[in-house]
Amino acid sequence: MTFTRRTTLQWLATATALSLANRGVAAAAAPQATGAPPSFKVVDWPASIAPMPAAPGYGRDPDLTAPKVPWPLTLTKPQRATVDMLGDMILPADAASPGAGTLGVGAFIDEWISAPYPQQQDDRGKIIAGLTWLDAQSRVLHGGAFTAATAAQRATLLDALTVETPSAAMAQPVAFMDRLRNLFVLGFYSLPEGKADMGYIGDQPTEGPYPGPTPEAQAHFAALLTTLKLPPLPSPSQA
């Protein structure tokens, strides 16, 4: 399979839409059919990973003018190399910019999974176990770590991690890659190169009196307030 940024973004949009559509009804949904197993023997998913030591968070009043990361990072040097290699495979270089791994998306992943918050710690378990599994699977297949495999060998293994309906043995490895791919997109498009790649221009000055938000923006915000069960904002005449 040849990966492109457009392909990855389509995956991300589909996964997000499905997760939102199924929120709250997952318990009633029928079990998803599993696909055929891959053409190789699948190694066991790691039974456990080392717990993260206690670390401070940002606190209630972080200094946004001097941002810093108050927690220790997690990934080893080989793990960072694997993440950056996967970043270049999933979001490869094109005419707009280098690949995500070359730009250092591994640093974003490392900071994210090292944060002492529930979502990040859940991701930490998936990512560390997944990287451990990936190297173990590569050693069984090719006699070395994932980064030591040939480009064709790495691509074949990555293809097995991007199936729509994985077999039972591949369910956790595929879930790991699904989450890592989402984090790659999140990290890459937070970089200046990623913003330029999608045409994001940021805030722009408005000449003359400020026209205020568009009706569409106001309707969207009103819907969010309703979803959050918050009172609507007063109209301009009531303010």
Q: Is the pTM of this model over 0.75?
A: no
* 142 Cβ neighbours under 8 A, 6+ residues apart: 148, 149, 150, 153
Range in 30-34, 169-173, 180-184 with the lowest mean pLDDT: 30-34
> Rounded to 5 degrees, what angle do the CA atoms 197, 100, 94 make?
50
pLDDT in tens, 136-151: 999 999 999 999 999 9
Residue 157 in contact with residue 137, Cβ under 8 Å? Answer: yes
What pLDDT score was predicted for residue 200? 73
Helix intervals (H) in 47-94: 77-90
How far is Cα 32 from Cα 12, in angstroms, rounded to an integer?
19
How far is Cα 75 from Cα 214, in angstroms, rounded to an integer?
44
Helix intervals (H) in 143-170: 151-160
Amino acid code (one letter) for 125: G
pLDDT in tens, 173-207: 999 999 999 999 999 888 888 777 777 777 777 78
Helix intervals (H) in 161-214: 171-188, 192-197
The percentage of residues in the chain with a pLDDT greater than 70, rounded to a whole number, is 83
How far is Cα 89 from Cα 148, in angstroms, rounded to an integer?
15
What pLDDT score was predicted for residue 65? 85
How far is Cα 112 from Cα 120, in angstroms, rounded to an integer?
6
Query: Looking only at Cα atoms, what is the longest distance across the chain?
Result: 72
Q: Is residue 210's pLDDT more than 60?
A: yes
Report, as an integer, the average pLDDT of 161-183. Answer: 94
